[in-house]
Amino acid sequence: MNRKPDHFVLRVDPILCDGFGHCHELAPELVQVDEWGYPIIHEELTSMTELTLLKSARLAVRGCPRQALRIERTNGPA
């Protein structure tokens, strides 16, 4: 039986991204920006129980003007 995803990670589509770094303002805990303003995403899986971080991730996804961000849900280490 498949486990329900219990972790998430934020993903960016670099082709769509405009590099203005709005996502960093919305979710600074999960997104840093490089010297050109392009996002550097926190790559480690975050537990779904980290509700503050999940909320920030959702905020960044909704606030991205290019729809370049998505939340990938996955299973963490068993």
Q: Are 62 and 54 in contact (CB under 8 A)?
A: no
The site that binds ligand SF4 (CB under 6 A) totals a number of residues, namely: 14
Q: What binding mask, one character per residue, do residues 9-48 give for ligand SF4 by CB under 6 A, x or -?
A: ---x----xxxxxxx---------------x---------
Question: Which tokens belong to 77?
Answer: 């280490």
CB of 38 to ligand SF4, least distance (A): 6
Q: Which residues pair with 10 in a beta bridge?
A: 71
Supply φ then ψ for residue 53, to 5 degrees: -70, -40
53 contributes a contact to ligand SF4 by CB under 6 A: no
Question: Rg of the chain's alpha carbons, rounded to an integer?
Answer: 13
Q: Which residues bind ligand SF4 (CB under 6 A)?
A: 12, 17-23, 39, 64-66, 68-69
